[in-house]
Structure 1
Amino acid sequence: MDIRVHGSTPPTPFLSASDLFETEHDLDRPVHVRVRDDPDERTWTSHPGDHHILNISRQAATSAMARELALHEYSHMARNEQSHPSHTQSTAEALFLAFAGKSVERRKLTHCYQIANHMKDIYADDITLRVGPSDKLVAFLESELATAVADRPTHPRGRRMTATTDPEMTAVNAAFALALVERHGLVGRDHRLYDLARTASGDAPTVDVQGFKYRFLSLVDDPDESEYRKALVDAAEEYVLDGNEDGQAAD
């Protein structure tokens, strides 16, 4: 792997993550690591043609989670190079199919993009958890969900559970966390994540946490484009349409 770290941040966590990643995978295109000064940037990846870009805040790049965050983003890059449907399917196209002829409030559409991100993360972490340790990831999920349940701060994108102040989205985030740990057998049923998920579920009675957990958990390893598109459309419809008390999308 060709890792190029731009700026004055030490490259150690990114190189260490590549060492782990290369035990089972490789990337054809080079990775440019861009360290941002914005402490809320977290991590996210883009793929501008002949290389990948890993965007990360300086705070995250120098944290104890830096290696694990980089490893997760390398997994997204691998899925992109594999042309995996989770990373090639247009979310906007799927939402158009789900809500054609309906009026949907903007916050719900924003949440649907986060649901799509969770589905991408499931497939990325199928790689991440094969090559790297899980202890920090579990602690990360627990911490982020606890924060979301407590005060629900906001953040627009990237690997962050607290994507919105809305308790409905926090409940979906809880479902994602449970699905991820169950998919890989990471914790027992007495883990604190289950208590936090019950609290999140109680705050959002219109969201079927168990139903969303099953949706994330049951994503098949190698779907074709049609299967994945249907899974994304179905998840969006359940969140927006089934989650409304009157059964209709909101204006």
Structure 2
Amino acid sequence: MDIRIQGSGPTAPFLSARGLFETEHDLTLPVYVQLREDPDERTWAAHYDDRHVLNISRQAASSAMARELALHEFAHMARHEQEHPSHVQSTEEVLYLALAGKSVERRKLSHCYQIANHMKDIYADDITLSVGPGEKLLSFLESGLAAAVANRSETPTRPGLERLSPSADPEITAVNAAFALALAERHDLVDDDHRLYDLAHAAAMDAPDVEFAGFKRRFRELAREPDSSTYRQVLVDATRSYAGGPGPAAD
């Protein structure tokens, strides 16, 4: 696995992640690690005909999660090279199939992309967690969900109901909680009394119209090696469950 780090910054996390990754996997194309200045820039992988690019801020590259972030993105690169259905399926095609003839809020359409990304992450982390420990990932999921649940609105959503998750989008927060719990259960990272269950319950209570249990089941039980048709149908069903509605198609 050829890795090339561009820009000044730490190199150890990427080399350590490569060492873990290569115990069971490899990449055909070289990986260029692009260290960026913006500390708020999220970590993501880009794919080209002749290379993969791992974009990461110097701050993230210096964090305690740096190795795990790099390993996760290497896993996405592997899925891309495998032409895994989760990484080659067009989300736009799924939205058309699932929501044609429906009227859907734009915010919910954007959330559908996040649901598709969660499914990609499940399949990437099937690789990540096959070669590396899950403790840091579990702590990362727990802290992120705890921060969301703690950001409560002082104004109830409706009389008698206190909002338990972020005031902006409690519905996608519930889906995010289902993803976190599903990933943890899929890889046996949590005991029955883990705090993640309480946090997920709080997020689900704030979004009663979201099928929390259904989304958790979908994420947790994604087939390990689906064919393209099966994967497309699962994503269509998830999209309809979250954003389906009556009326004309959204523009």
Do Structure 1 and Structure 2 share a fold, with TM-score over 0.5? yes
Q: Give the gaps of 5 or more residues in structure 2.
A: 153-164
Q: How big is each residue's C-alpha offset from its partner over 1:10-35, in whole Å with a ceiling of 9 and x where there is no partner?
A: 21100100000000000000001111
Confirm whether residue 7 of structure 1 aligns to residue 10 of structure 2: no
Deviation at 1:103, TM superposition (A): 2.3
Secondary structure of the structure 2 residue equivalent to 1:9: coil
4+ long deviations beyond 6 Å: none
Contact 1:114 1:163 in 2 (8 A): no
Contact 2:149 2:166 in 1 (8 A): no
Distance 1:163 1:42 in 2: 20
Question: How do 1:25-36 residues align onto structure 2 when only pairs under 5 Å count?
Answer: 25-36=25-36
- 2:55 aligned partner: 55
- 2:193 aligned partner: 190
Confirm whether residue 81 of structure 1 aligns to residue 81 of structure 2: yes
- 1:72 aligned partner: 72
> Aligned partner of 2:39: which letter?
P
> Aligned partner of 1:199: which letter?
A
Deviation at 1:216, TM superposition (A): 0.4
Q: How big is each residue's C-alpha offset from its partner over 1:23-49, in whole Å with a ceiling of 9 and x where there is no partner?
A: 000000000111122222121111011
Confirm whether residue 239 of structure 1 aligns to residue 242 of structure 2: yes
Distance 2:167 2:179 in 1: 15
Q: Which has the higher contact order (CA 8 A, sep 6+)?
A: 2
Size of the aligned set, in residue pairs, is 237
Contact 1:171 1:207 in 2 (8 A): yes
Contact 2:177 2:203 in 1 (8 A): yes
Contact 2:151 2:166 in 1 (8 A): no
Indicate the structure (1 or 2) with the bigger Cα radius of gyration. Answer: 2
Contact 1:175 1:213 in 2 (8 A): yes
Deviation at 1:164, TM superposition (A): 9.7
Secondary structure of the structure 2 residue equivalent to 1:54: strand
2:246 aligned residue (228, 245, 248)? 248
Alignment RMSD, CA only?
A: 1.8
Residue range with higher mean Cα deviation, 97-106 or 6-15? 97-106
- 2:214 aligned partner: 211
Distance 2:9 2:121 in 1: 26
Contact 1:176 1:216 in 2 (8 A): yes
Deviation at 1:104, TM superposition (A): 1.5
Distance 2:31 2:205 in 1: 42
Contact 2:30 2:51 in 1 (8 A): yes
Question: How do 1:1-251 residues align onto structure 2 when only pairs under 5 Å count?
Answer: 1-151=1-151, 165-241=168-244, 248=246
Distance 1:84 1:107 in 2: 28
Normalising by structure 1, we get a TM-score of 0.91
Deviation at 1:118, TM superposition (A): 0.3
State the identity as a percent. Answer: 69
Alignment CA distance shift 1:91-1:164 (3 Å): farther
Contact 2:45 2:77 in 1 (8 A): yes
Deviation at 1:229, TM superposition (A): 0.6
Distance 1:7 1:66 in 2: 16
Contact 1:146 1:196 in 2 (8 A): yes
Alignment CA distance shift 1:185-1:216 (3 Å): same
Alignment CA distance shift 1:249-1:191 (3 Å): farther
